[in-house]
Amino acid sequence: MKKSISYWSFEGGLEGTKDIGECFREAKDAGYEAVELAVGPEGEITPETGEKDCIKILDQAQNAGIEISSLASGLFWEYPLTDNSPEKAAEGKRIAARMLEIASWLELDTVLVIPGAVDIFFNPDFQPVPYDRVYDRSVAALKELLPAAEKHKVCMGIENVWNKFLLSPLEMRDFLDSFESEYIGSYFDVGNVMLFGYPEHWINILGERIKKVHLKDFKTSVGTAEGFCDLTEGDVDWPAVMSALNGIGYDGYLTAEMVPPHPGVVSKTSPAMDNILSLT
């Protein structure tokens, strides 16, 4: 398994103001093998980014001696694929399609996709969408995006997030299988399931459907977003998680997603990840 860090874990990453070349160099110096980049409304990678810009980013990564692990975006919270507004849902699909193309230029095999939202926990103004409507709209949107994924040979990694949707590993498994495509899989987030489940159970059930993995830790006694904490300082059973990942034959990137960033977190997370990886 390879050690990766999210662009969002760097100061300025969430805002898109962190220089990507500088991010690569800092990640390399801190002992990471890869960086997960992100598409945002501002910064060096937006939905309008072109091929020439991606070639420049690839050159920067090569010069820094680091890999790019995957491509994420927070824009799916602003433009959910399942929004009640057809205009917002359409923009979400456009963003997903552009991410697939950008990923192909960056020579990546997976992008992170949030499949929709019944609720958005950090947005009190969001009107909840009935679960069954979210399910149907999500299936329809992803089926519409599949031809682009197949064209670019980039998998849509469906992430388990706090969206009150796809809350069980059995449901997630059956949801993914319903598409009958190698270009829809799981982007599994270890910390996100701690509120209502056990990551090792999810890993064993999802198996080879898992294309990428986010590492986060969580204190279940807190029970809110404040419960996310530095790696190995929460309640994740890391030996069980690593045993499960080994058991399914996962050998891809483990990307630490430490958000919001705080001073020293990038350098602190690196040895914590070494400790986790030593459990293999």
CATH label of the domain that carries residue 190: 3.20.20.150
AA identity, residue 137:
R
What's the rounded Cα separation, in Å, for the pair 260 and 12? 10
Helices (H) and strands (E) in the chain — how many of each? 9, 10
pLDDT at 186: 98
Beta carbons of 257 and 217 less than 8 angstroms apart: no
- SS3 (DSSP) at 122: coil
**Ramachandran angles phi, psi of 112, nearest 5°:** -85, 130
pLDDT at 280: 76
Beta carbons of 117 and 78 less than 8 angstroms apart: no
AA identity, residue 128:
P
Q: Which long-range contacts (CB under 8 A, 24 or more apart) does 104-107 make?
A: 104/152, 104/153, 104/154, 105/51, 105/54, 105/55, 106/37, 106/54, 106/57, 106/58, 106/68, 106/71, 107/58, 107/68
Domain of residue 80: give its range.
Answer: 2-277
- SS3 (DSSP) at 16: coil
Which residues have CB under 8 Å from 217's CB, separation 6+?
Answer: 190, 191, 228, 229, 230, 231, 232, 233, 234, 235, 236
Instruction: Encode the chain (280 residues) as per-residue pLDDT tens digits.
Output: 999 999 999 999 999 999 999 999 999 999 999 999 999 999 999 999 999 999 999 999 999 999 999 999 999 999 999 999 999 999 999 999 999 999 999 999 999 999 999 999 999 999 999 999 999 999 999 999 999 999 999 999 999 999 999 999 999 999 999 999 999 999 999 999 999 999 999 999 999 999 999 999 999 999 999 999 999 999 999 999 999 999 999 999 999 999 999 999 999 999 999 999 999 7
Number of domains in the chain: 1
| DSSP β-ladder status, 184-189 and 210-215 | parallel
